[in-house]
Structure 1
Amino acid sequence: MIIVKTLEEIELMRESALVVSKTLGMLAKEVKPGVSSLYLDKLAEEFIRDHGAVPGFLGLYDFPNTLCMSPNAQVVHGIPNDTPFAEGDIISIDCGAVKNGYYGDHAYTFAIGEIAPEVEKLLKITKESLYVGIRELKVGKRVGDVGYAIQEYCEAHGYGVVRELVGHGLGKTMHEDPEMPNYGRRGRGKKFVEGMTVAIEPMINLGTRRIEQLDDGWTILTADRKPSAHFEHDVAIVNGKPELLSTFAYIYDALVIESDEEDEFRAKELVL
């Protein structure tokens, strides 16, 4: 069942999402060769608590950490460890936080130093596909419209679109209806309505779409061990169209990147 939110609830969810956004922005300055994912995990937990929230992933389904940290061929759900990052790695950082009883949950894939051109293109196309999908989140459209748009955009570049892992509704629990696959057929699936809140998150592989799971019961990686990228935003339907609750602006501010990619999805200017 889709849980529709009031405008007041959506504003509370925005606060939760922005805690995650600020956490990712803080981490952006720390992602560099020689740093470990476990070190970043500890920074994130402290930052989230200092901002009046609690980590959304820690203990959820018995997950042991604050962040899902998935480097290179890992798709999602990687467990932080002491292995230092190396020049040329990529790392997906997926973060959740709970504030005012609502979840924020989004992700960004960072390049560590100079990365291979084909991997840089993978990150670019995956992030672009996120916004391609968000544009379809309008009253009267359906889940399949979002999935189809993402799938078509990524497969046109020869990439594998993961099927087994999907986006989801978001609210007082981490996973609400509807599931939001990154593949699909236009006009199929649940219809979008005013007040819906979802997490859209393309998980796109450089090679095969097929995946495997490690014995830790969490870590998902590509079957061919080629790199995978993951970007995620929290989005609400307001006045019939998509409005971002999360932002990458704090990341871009930290990395001195100029971008207008989010402008069309904002009802008002974001103040950093």
Structure 2
Amino acid sequence: MFKKNKHGIQIKTPEQLDGMRAAGLVVGRTLELLRAAVAPGVTPLDLDVIAEKAIRDEGAVPSFKGYQGYPASICASVNSEVVHGIPGDGRKLREGDIISIDCGAILAGWHGDSAITVPVGEVGPELTELMRVTEEAMWRGIAALRPGAHLSDIGHQIEKYARSQGRYGIPQEYGGHGIGTEMHMDPWVANHGRPGRGPKLEAGMCLAVEPMLNLGTDRTRVLADDWTVVTMDGKASAHFEHSVAVTEQGPWVLTALDGGESRLGTVNRT
């Protein structure tokens, strides 16, 4: 049996959080391999092969593969693809592209889930800034994961930072989620909204925080493959994600190799 609070949100014991951390580290290490592998001429399918081998070599299972029929171990979303891009070998990455890589793994029944957006070679300043703002918005949201804070404080911090940096589109229908014995659990974690709303955060909660920002409109559509989400105006999108545990000491970033220490220290001083 796994404990849930009155809102139906799974609450982990310290020992269970250790299991979550082990799964998170598999994902974190895999994404670092993929970051290093991104280069002009590489295909998204090449990255998928690397990911599946890395995950299985650690005794884990890719959580995306077969999930609601999804055919791959990672999501690989290039340029105007927001999320859920299916990796294939029909196109090679080109200098100046950006690619969002979303990766999940199951280890001993616990899930880890994280995403990064990576430049392919040299990219233009507008794309560099898009990635910077999206990642920083994620960290602003993560910093809100403290006992006694409200769920909506996360999305409020993400939106507040994104709006302060420019006119970025924030897709309203996509966001983060609870995570634990399943990849997607209650609660839904919006990337926008007013603070002080929703359930109070408690030690032992685990949430995936994952902002997506678009260079243009916030409007999106799903392609004919029934998975790939793209921007309506064809402009680029970036996506970052970490799985995070709420603890009495503050957020513990389960999918960051250092637990989030270096970046959270920077956020908390600004």
TM-score, normalised relative to structure 2 = 0.92
% identical aligned pairs: 46
Structure 1 residue 122: Cα displacement: 0.5
**Counterpart residue number, 1:21:** 28
Contact map agreement 1:25 1:248 (CA 8 A) in 2? no
Structure 1 residue 233: Cα displacement: 0.6
Paired residue for 1:135, among 137, 143, 155?
A: 143
Q: How does 1:158-173 map to 2 (within 5 A)?
A: 158-173=167-182
Taking the aligned partners of 2:209 and 2:79, their CA distance within structure 1 comes to: 21
**Counterpart residue number, 2:62:** 55
Structure 1 residue 260: Cα displacement: 3.2
Change (3 A) 1:248 1:202: farther
**Counterpart residue number, 2:5:** none
Instruction: Tell whether 2:100 aligns with 1:111.
Output: no
Taking the aligned partners of 1:146 and 1:136, their CA distance within structure 2 comes to: 6
Instruction: Tell whether 2:53 aligns with 1:43.
Output: no
Structure 1 residue 239: Cα displacement: 1.1
SS in 2 for 1:161: coil
Gaps of 5+ in 1: 250-258, 266-272
**Counterpart residue number, 1:194:** 203
Summarize deviations over 1:85-117 as a string: whole Å, max 9, x none.
Answer: 000000000000000100000000000011110
Taking the aligned partners of 1:19 and 1:85, their CA distance within structure 2 comes to: 25
Structure 1 residue 248: Cα displacement: 5.9
Taking the aligned partners of 1:262 and 1:70, their CA distance within structure 2 comes to: 27
Taking the aligned partners of 1:46 and 1:135, their CA distance within structure 2 comes to: 33
Paired residue for 2:262, among 238, 260, 263?
A: 260
Contact map agreement 1:193 1:240 (CA 8 A) in 2? no
**Counterpart residue number, 2:97:** 89
Taking the aligned partners of 2:257 and 2:123, their CA distance within structure 1 comes to: 20
Structure 1 residue 204: Cα displacement: 0.7
Structure 1 residue 170: Cα displacement: 0.3
SS in 1 for 2:139: helix
Gaps of 5+ in 2: 1-7
The letter of the residue matching 1:241 is G
Instruction: Tell whether 2:187 aligns with 1:178.
Output: yes
**Which consecutive aligned stretches of 4+ in structure 1 deviate over 4 angstroms post-superposition?**
262-265
Instruction: Tell whether 2:266 aligns with 1:226.
Output: no
Structure 1 residue 263: Cα displacement: 4.8
**Counterpart residue number, 1:100:** 108
Taking the aligned partners of 2:215 and 2:170, their CA distance within structure 1 comes to: 9
TM-score, normalised relative to structure 1 = 0.91
Taking the aligned partners of 2:264 and 2:241, their CA distance within structure 1 comes to: 13
Taking the aligned partners of 1:148 and 1:25, their CA distance within structure 2 comes to: 29
**Counterpart residue number, 2:225:** 216
Instruction: Tell whether 2:156 aligns with 1:154.
Output: no
**Counterpart residue number, 1:253:** none
